[in-house]
């Protein structure tokens, strides 16, 4: 799996691609999340449009990220999941826990409104 990250307007943007199966990258992602949360970043957009596959460990990584942001009074939004990932989120009922948006503009609006 590959990932990129940046912070724009105090929103962490994380882009994941490949297969999210909780390998070593999961630890690297969590470390980046912790660093940004410690620097008072409370909002995160995770672009998962490039994920081909996700397993239970990968779901665990996403839940860990969500939990870390919510524990600090923040929020996370998943962006543009593929059909297979969207089906997995529905089957596991995680679509009721995660905020999922189809485009970045909507995701940022939802995140900014979550802090009001």
Q: What is the pTM of this model?
A: 0.94
pLDDT at 26: 83
pLDDT at 89: 94
Structure tokens at 21: 């199966």
Please say whether the structural domain 2-114 has been given the CATH code 3.30.750.24: yes
Neighbours of 71 (CB within 10 A): 9
Q: Read off φ and ψ for residue 80, nearest 5 degrees.
A: 50, 60
Q: How many C-alpha atoms does 5 have within 13 Å on its Cβ side?
A: 19
Model confidence pLDDT, tens digit, residues 28-41: 899 999 999 999 99
pLDDT at 25: 75
In which band, very low, low, confident or very high, does the pLDDT at 116 lie, cut at 50, 70 and 90? Answer: confident
Model confidence pLDDT, tens digit, residues 7-20: 999 999 999 999 98
């Amino acid at each position: 799996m590959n990932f990129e990250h940046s912070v724009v307007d105090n929103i962490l943007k994380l882009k994941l691609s490949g297969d999210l199966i909780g390998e070593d990258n999961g630890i690297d992602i969590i470390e980046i999340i912790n660093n940004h949360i410690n620097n008072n970043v409370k909002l995160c957009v995770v672009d998962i449009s490039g994920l081909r596959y996700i397993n239970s460990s990968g779901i665990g990584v996403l839940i860990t990220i969500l939990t870390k942001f919510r524990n600090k009074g923040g929020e996370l939004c998943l962006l543009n999941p593929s059909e297979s990932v969207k089906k997995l989120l529905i089957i596991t009922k995680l679509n009721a826990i995660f905020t999922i948006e189809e485009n970045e503009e909507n995701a940022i609006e939802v995140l900014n409104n979550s802090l009001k």
